[in-house]
Amino acid sequence: MKLLSTNGFIVYAKKMNEADMLLSYITEDYGKITCFANNARKSKKRFLGKLEPAMLTNIKFYEKPGMTLDILYEADIVEDYKNLRKDINIYLFLTKLTEISRILCQERDNSKNIFYLIKNIFKSLDKLETGAAERMPVSVNTVLLKYEIYFISNLLKFTGIYPNFSNCIECSESNLRNSFDFNLKKGGVICKSCAEDKNKGHAYSEIKKLPVNFINLSNLMTGSDLSIINKLAVNEEILTDCSIFLRDFLSFHTGKRLKSFETI
């Protein structure tokens, strides 16, 4: 077995019995990895206080050829974003971020972009003073919705499944006015004539109306750094509609019910 080391964020944790755990990380050097942590909840020296959400840790793990699981040897805290665990609104948002990361990211599909996307959002949110809501120019929910759309749009781009908004998925007509609807099944926009063409067999449930300004907002966020969040003034109702559309797209694309969208 080979002992490897990297920095990573926990995106999934499951208790296996009285002491062991199954953990998934988004890592800096190996993409998503899933590790079995023997005696994780009883080993004070190797793991105590180091397997919490919202912290960056350096992990050492054994990789064994032919094995689907790596073996976590130890973890050490690199950065602890304590404020993220103090605010319930941010903490619930992070459950959405980690669930989406776990589902969309493939094992060992290494992309440093995804690791740094998560890291930059954690660091930025850790500095957000949501407790003093009266001093914020917009509501906490509005700010978190912008973070959510920024994160999902960029994650879709980095995983190669960012939707086609430019041309009709059927006839390639240009979506010049961003007026086309969206075909969830085919992952792209569809013009009115193709959507209504019964010969193409589009189910009504597959076609969704895109929220106002969603395409412009998403395209802008995928081409900018996190500072764009503070610069954009967007109505909370529009942001909510965008969040609902992304939920529907992700659920249809993955074939899974995203629990974090239901609890937030």
- At 195-241, the pLDDT tens digits run 988 777 777 788 999 998 999 999 999 989 999 998 999 999 999 99
Contact 36, 20 (CB under 8 A): yes
pLDDT at residue 12, rounded to an integer: 95
* Fold matches, 2-80 and 85-162+211-263: no
Is residue 185 over pLDDT 70? yes
CATH: 1.10.3470, 3.30.70, 1.10.1060, 1.20.1440. Which one for 85-162+211-263? 1.20.1440
Contact 17, 8 (CB under 8 A): no
Helix (H) or strand (E) run with residue 82 in it: none
Q: What is the mean pLDDT of residues 40-64?
A: 91
- At 86-145, the pLDDT tens digits run 888 898 899 999 999 999 999 988 789 999 999 999 999 998 865 544 555 678 899 999
Q: What are the C-alpha distances in Å from 7 to residues 89, 201, 214?
A: 26, 47, 34
- At 67-90, the pLDDT tens digits run 889 999 999 999 999 988 888 889
Token pair recorded at residue 13: 């944790």
Q: What is the mean pLDDT of the chain?
A: 91
**Does 2-80 carry CATH code 2.40.50.140?**
yes
Best CA proximity match to 160, nearest among 113, 94, 97, 207 = 113
pLDDT at residue 30, rounded to an integer: 95
Q: What is the mean pLDDT of residues 8-23?
A: 94
**Rounded to an integer, what distance in angstroms lies between the CA atom of residue 21 and that of residue 38?**
7
Domain ranges of the chain: 2-80, 85-162+211-263
Q: How confident is the model at residue 173 (pLDDT cuts 50, 70, 90)?
A: very high
Strand 181-183 vs strand 70-80: parallel, antiparallel, or unpaired? unpaired
